Structure 1
Amino acid sequence: MSTTSAGSAVTPSSLRRRIDQLVLRDRYRLRRRLTKARDKAAGKRIPEDVLLELAADVEEAERRLEARRAAVPKVTYPPQLPVSKRVDDLAKAIAEHQVVVVAGETGSGKTTQLPKICLDIGRGVHGMIGHTQ
C-alpha cells in the first residue's frame, strides 16, 4: 500500500475524501485526475506511482487551502452603517439560501459589508465571493 510523506496510507477513497475538502478549482482538477486513473486501471489497482503523485498534488493543494484560511482578515463592521445592525439576519439568510437580494439606501453598507459577512460565515475560502449591484 502506498503512503504519503507523513506516513498515512494512500488509497483512492482516502484521496477522494481529501479532495472533497479542497478549494473548488483544485477539487475539480484532482477529482478528474483520480477518475481518469481509475478508468485507466480498468478495475485493477491504480499503480502506486500514480497514487503517490496524486497524493503529493493533494498535499500541495491542502497547503494552499491552509494559506487561504490563514489570510482571511479580521472582520469588523462600522456601527454607523445600517447593514451592520442586521449582520446576524443577513448571515443567516446567506447561509440558508443560494441567492439573497438585499435592498437598502445608498451608503447603507450593502456593497462593503456583505462580502465581510460572507467571510465571517466561512465563505470565500473554498471559492470566491461574488455579488452584483
Structure 2
Amino acid sequence: MTPSFAALSVRIAEAMAADATRLQRRLVRAQSTHAPAAAWTRIGEDLERTIVRRNARAANKPALAFPSELPVSQRADEIAQAIREHQVVIVCGETGSGKTTQLPKICLAAGRGERGAIGHTQPRRIAA
C-alpha cells in the first residue's frame, strides 16, 4: 500500500534532524505535483531508513556516569531540565567544575543527540 501524505508527515518528527527538512520538502512537492505511487514509496523508504538510524543511535547510547565531586554533576538534574525546557542554556562555573566534560553527557541524558549533533561551545571561542 502506498503511504499517504498524512501518515508520512506524522513520522517526520522521528527522523534525523539533517534528513527531516529534506524529507518534508519532498513530501510537499509530491503532494503538490500529484506524484506517482513509486515516488511516495521511495519517500516512505527513505523516511524509514532515517528513523532506523535514529533508533539505533538511541539504543546505543553509552552508559553515563557523573562524578559526584564535580559541581556540574551535582546539578545535573537541574541542568537537564533547563536543557529540555529552553533552546539555549548558559552554564557558568569555575575552572575544573565539569562544564566541558559533563555537559555533553547531561545533554545525552536529557534525550538530546538522538536526532543529530549536540552543539557545545565556550565564550572565549565565541569572542575570538
TM-score (norm 1): 0.85
Task: Indicate yes or no: 2:71 matched with 1:82.
Answer: yes
Q: Which of 29, 32, 37 is 1:36 aligned to?
A: 29
- Which structure's residues are more often helix, by fraction? 2
Residue matched to 1:6: none
Number of residue pairs matched?
A: 122
Cα shift readout 1:26-53 (whole Å, capped 9, x = no counterpart)? 1111111111111212xxxx42111111
Q: Which residue of 2 aligns with 1:120?
A: 109
The whole-number CA distance in structure 1 between the counterparts of 2:44 and 2:88 is 35
- Unmatched tracts of structure 1, length 5 or more: 4-9
CA distance in 2, matches of 1:62, 1:25: 12
Residue 130 of structure 1 and its aligned partner are, at CA, apart by 0.8
The 3-state SS of whatever aligns with 2:89 is coil
**DSSP 3-state at the match of 2:96:** coil
State the superposition RMSD in angstroms: 1.2
The structure with more radius of gyration = 1
Assess if the C-alpha contact under 8 Å between 2:14 and 2:54 holds in 1.
Answer: no
User: Separation in 2 of the partners of 1:59 and 1:96?
Assistant: 28
Partner of 2:20: 27
* Selected match of 1:51 from 14, 20, 40: 40
Is there any run of 5+ residues in structure 2 with no aligned partner, and where?
A: 123-128
Aligned match of 1:96: 85
Give % identity.
49
TM-score using structure 2 length: 0.88
Q: What secondary structure sits across from 1:76 in the alignment?
A: coil
